[in-house]
Structure formats: structure tokens, C-alpha cells
Amino acid sequence: MHELSIVCSIVELASQAAEGRSVRRVTIEIGTLSGVEPEAVAFCFPEVARGTPVEDATLDIREIDAKARCEVCGAEFPTPDMLSACPCGSRQFQRLRGEELNIKSIEVEEAA
Ligand SMILES: [Zn+2]
């Protein structure tokens, strides 16, 4: 499963960032066109995090709606799927966002 390897990388990066402390919260952004299922990521996370410094962390998933800018009329419009067209009918556009998969932030417990 694609999501499993993604969750593994997230947990690995967060563990490294924690430098021996425990991670409290991991916030990630998933674009709606990234091909990654947020539900599957949320499902895998506790399993993968078990036994790591990320074990007790909350996973905060933010879904990023896809958006594009039309090259004909300049309008910005949502592109929920790959076949979207601008309201003006044009299919020439630049994707602005929606394909991202980012770790937005990693919150680590304060050092004692
Ligand atoms: Zn247009």
C-alpha cells in the first residue's frame, strides 16, 4: 500500500526531528490530487508510530483543495479532478496546488 510507505517516512522524519524527545503533534498537508488517501494515512499512523518517539503524537491532516489558474482568462478555479476545465471552457491552465504532500510541522515536547 502506497500510504504505508508515506506514513513510514513521516514517522521516520518526525522521530529524527524529535532528537530523543517525544513528538506531540505532526501536521501534514495532503493535496486532493496527490493520490494519497488521508483516511488510509490516518489509519496506518498509529501502527507505524508504535514503539517510536511518535507513538503518542496526534496526526493532524489538512486536505488541500486543488486549484489552477487559467492561461486564457486568468481566473483561478478549483480542479477537483484531472479532467477539470476553466469556467470559460479553456483547458489550458497551470496547477497552483493540490498535488502536495508536505509535513507542515512537527511539535516536540519541551526538553525537561
Ligand atoms: Zn478561463
Residue 83: pLDDT band (50, 70, 90) is: confident
* Rounded Cα distance, 72 and 66, in Å: 19
Q: How many angstroms does the Cα of residue 40 sit away from the middle of ligand 1?
A: 34
The mean pLDDT of 44-49, rounded to a whole number, is 97
Residues 6 or more apart whose Cβ sits within 8 Å of residue 45: 7, 10, 11, 59
Listed residues: CB within 5 A of ion ligand 1: 70, 72-73, 75, 86, 88, 90
What CATH code is assigned to 2-108? 3.30.2320.80
Closest CA to 78 of 24, 21, 31: 31
Contact 99, 84 (CB under 8 A): no
pLDDT at 84: 87
Give me the pLDDT at residue 112, please: 63
Instruction: Give the pLDDT confidence of 20-42 residue by residue, as tens digits.
Output: 999 999 999 999 999 999 999 99
- Domain range summary for the chain, segments of one domain joined by +: 2-108
Q: Is 53 helix (H, G, I), strand (E, B) or coil?
A: coil
Average pLDDT, integer, range 51-78: 96
